[in-house]
Amino acid sequence: MSENRTHLDVKHTWDLTTIFPTDEAWEAEFEALQTDVESAVAYQGHLLDSAASLLAITEAQLGLARRIEKLYVYASMKNDEDTTVAKYQEFQAKALSVYAAFSGTFAFYEPEFMTITDEQYQEFLSEEAGLALYKHYFERLFQQKEHVLSQAEEELLAGASEIFSSASETFSILDNADILFPTVPDGEGGVVELTHGTYIKLLENKDRDVRREAYEGLYSVYEQFQHTYAKTLQTNVKVHNYKAKVRKYASARQAALAANFIPESVYETLVETVNKHLPLLHRYIKLRQDILDLPDLKMYDLLTPLSETDLSMTYEEALTKGQEVLSIFGEDYARRVKEAFENRWIDVHENKGKRSGAYSGGSYDTNAFMLLNWQDNLNNFYTLLHETGHSMHSMYTRENQPYVYGDYSIFLAEIASTTNENILTEALLQEVTDEKVRFAILNNYLDGFRSTIFRQTQFAEFEDAIHKADQAGEVLTSDYLNKLYADINEKYYGLSAEDNPQIQYEWARIPHFYYNYYVYQYATGFAAANFLADKIVYGTQEDKDKYLDYLKAGNSDYPLNVIKKAGVDMEEVDYLEAAFAVFEKRLIELEELVAKGAHK
């Protein structure tokens, strides 16, 4: 059973007092923000009065946004520590409410800005030197011109932001706080409470009965609540489609990708290329079945390590090895990693009520915090370096860009994290000669590739399908979602839906389906990371410098341009084909090691 948070070693918890020293300080800032947002109503109608007013109101808007982000980050991270604590649920709701008020107050900004003529815009730039900083910011707004509504319409949308997020919020509370899973055998003669955190570890167990009971136990709960989960997901999809429609986008996908200035061809090329290479996945699945010596392979057999070699490590060991591996980027990067690892930026262990999974968070004015639910295995080591990649990206961006460009697009985010993962794999394969250990590392890499490029593209295909279905008038009942998910899953893994009936409910437990066309970026990011890791490990100092420039760029340029300067053209298929070439190369080595008996 998960421990209460009070029992954790404080050095393994993040220090949120660096954001607000006390809850009372947070509440004081909340009150101040409410007042300041309300006062900002006076700006309406005056944005283009003069060059000076455009600068002043732009800076006022960004200044308030900056403070609200900090307010929200504290509330959401305190809530994530224990999602059952009502106080921080209230804090998070208050932060969302002040953001909704802010959005309503500044709903005038884009409609007013869009009335500026080219001549007036150029005059303003020449009159007010301070506007030069915001040229790229303004340019991005101009590109969205046909999708900006009237001021009244923008106010209505802004006012409904809390309503629009309610399906996602409901899913989060249901999945993290209210759902109770059964106890299942732990493989050591006892039982363990099934949680989001323990589930993966149980599916990695060598005992097939343990895996099966954990799998069936988990999905029995999702089967029980499938209709509720279908409703929250359907509502969320409807929100995406509605907002896309009112903003005159052809689809929710187009709207979501346009936010990052990504052409839909990038999405389509990913799905097409992955589908083309599904025979490689089927080949790996068949090899897995042979190694496990099973008459049939089930979905609950996909996570158990194929190797008998114990690659478990403690959190402290992972910190030491992680710093060693990431030193390849140079002294400056290494210094930042050390700071994150030693100064309580990381919330390490699972506790009762804690949000599941892992992430890197924070805002422009905070540390780049990380949340983990640590287990002593190689996968969690990869997760640590993955989230560290995000945090270093955030740290470099915030230190090198003004607030207006001090974040980066989601599209670029997953590249920094998965480059670290790929560098870890390269480092381990370079230093290990023992065939049994190489087998374990290759197994881990291929499983990581499967879960990132294949699995996330599978998710992307499902996500796109349900948005299109809703747009076409299909009702997203649990029956519809179950069948669609089971069919796509069967296509990807070659394992029949009939033999794996529980997998039809997996869609219900995936929080990323609430993130609005997010998951495809895990796959594109991992593929690009393969490309970049190769350059960093085997290339020149210039390749490393270009990579660090990408980390520093933030939103100062369009995402595709930022990553192209680092050496990856993501509008072409080459980076994807290169990733599959690495996968096949490592699959071949694994097959050869199996032939030698290295897995025994």
Q: How many CB atoms lie within 10 A of CB 332?
A: 9
CB-CB contact of 162 with 96 (8 Å) = yes
Q: Label residue 468 by pLDDT band (50, 70, 90).
A: very high
Domains 182-224 and 265-311+379-600 in one fold: no
Structure tokens at 523: 């796959």
pLDDT the model gives residue 154: 85
pLDDT the model gives residue 511: 94
Mean pLDDT of the chain: 94
Average pLDDT of the residues in 157-174: 92
Task: Look at residue 43 and tell me whether its pLDDT is greater than 70.
Answer: yes
Alpha carbons 457 and 46: distance in angstroms, whole number: 46
Pairing of strands 359-360, 370-371: antiparallel
Check if CATH label 1.10.1370.20 holds for domain 265-311+379-600: yes
pLDDT digits (tens, 9 = 90+) for 61-73: 999 999 999 999 9
pLDDT digits (tens, 9 = 90+) for 358-404: 999 999 999 999 999 999 988 899 999 999 999 999 999 999 999 99
Domain ranges of the chain: 5-164, 182-224, 265-311+379-600
For the domain bounded by 5-164, which CATH number is listed? Answer: 1.20.140.70
pLDDT digits (tens, 9 = 90+) for 519-568: 999 899 999 999 899 899 999 999 999 999 999 999 999 999 999 999 99
pLDDT digits (tens, 9 = 90+) for 235-264: 999 999 999 999 999 999 999 999 889 999
pLDDT the model gives residue 546: 96
Question: Burial letters for 408-427: b for 16+ Cβ neighbours within 10 Å, e otherwise?
Answer: bbbbbbbbbbbbbbbbbbbb
Give SS3 for 308.
coil
Alpha carbons 86 and 369: distance in angstroms, whole number: 23
152 versus 339: the higher-pLDDT residue is 339
pLDDT the model gives residue 325: 97
Task: Look at residue 1 and tell me whether its pLDDT is greater than 60.
Answer: no
CB-CB contact of 362 with 394 (8 Å) = yes
DSSP 208: H
Enumerate the β-bridge partners of residue 192: 184
Enumerate the β-bridge partners of residue 183: 193
Out of 150-159, 267-276, 591-600, give the one with best mean pLDDT: 267-276
Domain boundaries 182-224, CATH class: mainly alpha
Alpha carbons 509 and 506: distance in angstroms, whole number: 6
Positions marked catalytic: 387
pLDDT digits (tens, 9 = 90+) for 580-594: 999 999 999 999 999
Task: Look at residue 308 and tell me whether its pLDDT is greater than 90.
Answer: no
pTM: 0.81
Give the length of the chain. 600
* Alpha carbon separation from 203 to 150, 209, 216, 291, 439 (Å, rounded): 52, 10, 11, 17, 20
